[in-house]
Amino acid sequence: MPYSGSVSDMSTINAIVFSDLDGTLLDHHDYSFAAALPALRVVDERRIPLILTTSKTLAEVEEINRLLQNPQAAIVENGCAMCFPPDRDFGFEFGPHERIDGYAVKRSPPDYRAIRDFIVQQRTRHRYRLQGFGDMNPEQLRSATGLSLGQAANAGKRLCSEPFQWLDSEERLQQFLAAAEEAGLCTTRGGRFWHLMGKSSKALALEKMRTLLTAGQTGRPTVIALGDSENDRGMLQQADIAVVIRRHDGTHLDCRGKHRTIYTQQQGPAGWNAAILQILTEPGSLNPPNRGD
């Protein structure tokens, strides 16, 4: 599924796809995207940027984009970092950034060590029962996530957020969440884990990425977002077309996009495939709506 165009070809396209991974483009159980291949080919043929927008790490997304043959930028760790691959002409200046594994990375504070310090302090003070990725070795991560050992190791290479399992009462969870907010941190719920991070979100990162990718472009591309979990809510609400993927338990997240919302009947990548093919084959579906924003 090779992409032959330059990333700076943004002026020639009329849509951007922002997609969650786990339970959305990737199957909840085996992490396969095979069921989405027909739609992925159409996205590639139309030269529509596919921006993976996920709680996963840069190390994980780098490998997934390699398998997808997708050279685009990515939003990782629930919006805490925007990552631009090396040797690409994006047609704009990055501004202040870090170089991490060759990527130009713009990340939000605080760093991972500060987030881990908060968890350790709270756990020591209140004896909360929670287990973060930083408490697990690769074998334990593999068991908790269902990833391969190598994938689990990549999941532990975190920059600015910490997934954790809450093993205590609901009342004590609310106390922990309140302490995080007081410390200037945010929490959100994904498909498998809670996530602790700074004042970031997929929605904020989506808007920053859209602004960067469309700088100097006449007209605004239609933003399509796909997700299934609570940590996708803001991103879906920011999209012109929101695709709410049916979850593995048969339920849907209750939220809507700005102008159109599709609730898939199929789960995971099969639902992703059906929705994207529907959007991209309907006449006029990507015509700019009458926007009041």
Residue 15: CB partners within 8 Å, gap ≥ 6? 46, 48, 221, 222, 223, 224, 286
What is the CA 30 to chain-centroid distance, rounded?
A: 18
**Which amino acid, residue 15?**
A
For the annotated catalytic residues, the residue numbers are: 20
Do the beta carbons of residue 157 and residue 100 sit within 8 Å?
Answer: no
| Cα torsion angle, 267, 269, 272, 276, sign | negative
Do the beta carbons of residue 196 and residue 184 sit within 8 Å?
Answer: no
Name the DSSP letter for residue 56.
Answer: S
Longest Cα separation, the chain: 59
CA torsion, ordered 57, 58, 63, 66, to nearest 10 deg: 140
**Which amino acid, residue 268?**
G
Q: Rg (Cα) of the chain, in Å, rounded? A: 19
